[in-house]
Amino acid sequence: MREEAGPGRTFLRPVLCSAARVLLVLGLVVVTVLGGFWAFQRSIIYQPDPAAPAPVEQVLPGARELVLHTDDGLDLTAWFLPANPRTDRELAVLLAPGNGGNRQGRAGIARELSDRGFAVLLLDYRGFGGNPGNPTEEGLAADAEAAVRALADEGFPPERTIYLGESLGGGVIARLQAEHPPAGIVLRSPFTQLADVASHHYPFLPVGLLRDRFPVTEHLAASAVPVTVIRGTADSVVPTELSEEVARVAGSRGTLVEEVVLEGVDHNDAEMFGAPVADAVVRLAESLG
């Protein structure tokens, strides 16, 4: 005998079908968001100015181009500015930039450093400033290693070089110093790891899926290289608390030389590309003896 459907069952069928459709739509939305994040995350992380800058002699008189040869076969253009002969410290600064712009935008800090007696190499990563390739964590590491070799060819091996990393560049040089220890490192607006910045700006995204990690504190925790940390209290890109934690980790290792706190300064304010940074590099150099 066939059981007759009661009124309760008749009511439940459309409800269950509607719920299933809602779950299906939600599942498709989640899959789409995750897939989009996985596919396009690097376009969020890296925002280069891909255009080649103006000729170096127009932007930074006295500087010249260097070609960096990476292990994976790329030729990258960088700028090298010798130290001012009147203040020459016989030290170089390797400047690893953040995630945007190109080397032309760092000409001012290069001049500040040169005037204080440092030779300066302005690195542009792959995909930045007319350079070939696409930026990734591994790619930027290879670019920085090529810069170290180029500086050595100019007479500045790592032990006579200070690595200066701004923001994302701090992640680049934190890894670089573990493999090629320099005289010292300066981290401007550093983060603990990239996922912590992503969590701050995109709390709804699964930052555990980031392909590029840049684990700054992990590298510093095993380092004996002297460190200066510079942070602005009004940083809207890298929360100042993350930079403060980087300084704490360096301090716990006994490698922190100085923590420079710039009150009311944001991530890309002029102070972050000018005298406060250059003066911090001087103090680090003078602390080395």
Mode of pairing for the β-strands spanning 100-101 and 47-48: parallel
Instruction: Give 96's strand partners.
Output: 165
Instruction: Give 118's strand partners.
Output: 91
**What's the pLDDT at 34?**
45
**What's the pLDDT at 29?**
46
1 in any annotated domain: no
Which one-letter DSSP state was computed for residue 138? H
- What pTM, to 2 d.p., does this model score? 0.86
Cite the beta strand spans of 55-174 per DSSP E.
Answer: 64-69, 75-81, 91-96, 100-101, 118-122, 161-166
Whether 67 and 75 have beta carbons less than 8 Å apart is answered as: yes
**Total structural domains in the chain?**
1
281 in any annotated domain: yes
Cα separation, 143 vs 79, in Å, equals: 14
**Residue 164: φ, ψ to 5°:** -115, 115
**What's the pLDDT at 205?**
73
279 in any annotated domain: yes
Cα separation, 170 vs 231, in Å, equals: 12
14 in any annotated domain: no
Cα separation, 133 vs 69, in Å, equals: 13
Q: What CATH number is given to the structural domain containing 193?
A: 3.40.50.1820
**What's the pLDDT at 46?**
94
**What's the pLDDT at 272?**
97
Per-residue pLDDT of the chain (289 residues; tens, 9 = 90+): 344 445 555 555 665 556 556 655 555 444 444 454 445 556 788 999 999 999 999 999 999 999 999 999 999 999 999 999 999 999 999 999 999 999 999 999 999 999 999 999 999 999 999 999 999 999 999 999 999 999 999 999 999 999 999 999 999 999 999 999 999 999 999 999 999 998 888 887 776 768 899 999 999 999 999 999 999 999 999 999 999 999 999 999 999 999 999 999 999 999 999 999 999 999 999 999 7
Cα 164 to Cα 25, 47, 63, 177, 240, distances in angstroms? 48, 20, 18, 11, 18
Task: Tally the residues of the chain.
Answer: 289
Whether 28 and 76 have beta carbons less than 8 Å apart is answered as: no
72 in any annotated domain: yes
Chain position carrying tokens 């170290």: 148
Whether 162 and 185 have beta carbons less than 8 Å apart is answered as: yes
**What's the pLDDT at 30?**
46
Per the structure, the complete domain to which residue 73 belongs is given by 46-287
Cα separation, 13 vs 20, in Å, equals: 11
27 in any annotated domain: no
**What's the pLDDT at 11?**
52
Structure tokens at 50: 């891909």
Whether 197 and 236 have beta carbons less than 8 Å apart is answered as: no
| Sign, Cα dihedral of 170, 277, 281, 235 | negative
- Nearest CA to 230 among 169, 159, 161? 169
Structure tokens at 77: 């253009």
Chain position carrying tokens 């980087």: 246
